[in-house]
Amino acid sequence: MKLKFLLITLITLLVSSITYAEKKIYTEDEFLTIFNGKPKARVVKYLGEPDKKEIGVQPKGASKTIGRPTDNKDNKKKDKVDMWYYSNIVKSGKDTTWKRIEFTFINDRCMNIAFSN
């Protein structure tokens, strides 16, 4: 009975240590090389699901604000724009990390990465 309890305890500890493994901290160059221009699936594979997701929308009256037409009447297909946010996974210095990392995906491909505090 004691052996069974000990075995179950050891297995539980092993599984929990794997589950709560510390996330990797990347350098800026390493991060950009791995993710810039890559599909969403690669980001999820390396980083998991984001802390926050947003969908890009075009504000009403955007054409008037920027002074040129924003809708393409020839191409009816609209681009899908998503923003994903992660935190504290990229080094900004020796001992500090960027607090917020934003991925901008256009049609499921990473087109922009921004670091901010």
**What pLDDT is attached to residue 92?**
87
Distance from C-alpha of 106 to C-alpha of 81, rounded to nearest angstrom: 5
Domain that holds residue 35: 23-55+78-117
Whichever domain contains 51, its CATH number is 3.30.1450.10
**What pLDDT is attached to residue 20?**
46
pLDDT at 25 over 60: yes
**What pLDDT is attached to residue 57?**
74
Whether residue 112 lies inside any domain: the answer is yes
**What pLDDT is attached to residue 63?**
65
- Residues 32-72 have pLDDT tens digits of 999 999 999 999 999 999 999 998 776 666 666 666 666 66
Distance from C-alpha of 97 to C-alpha of 115, rounded to nearest angstrom: 10
Whether residue 39 lies inside any domain: the answer is yes
Rounded to 10 degrees, what is the CA torsion of 54, 59, 62, 65?
-100
Whether residue 41 lies inside any domain: the answer is yes
CB 66 within 8 A of CB 78: no
Measured on CA atoms in the order 78, 108, 53, 34, is the torsion positive or negative?
A: negative
**What pLDDT is attached to residue 93?**
82
Among the residue ranges 19-23, 58-62, 113-117, the one predicted with the least confidence is: 19-23
What total of structural domains would you count in the chain?
1
pTM, to two decimals:
0.69
Rg (CA), the chain: 21
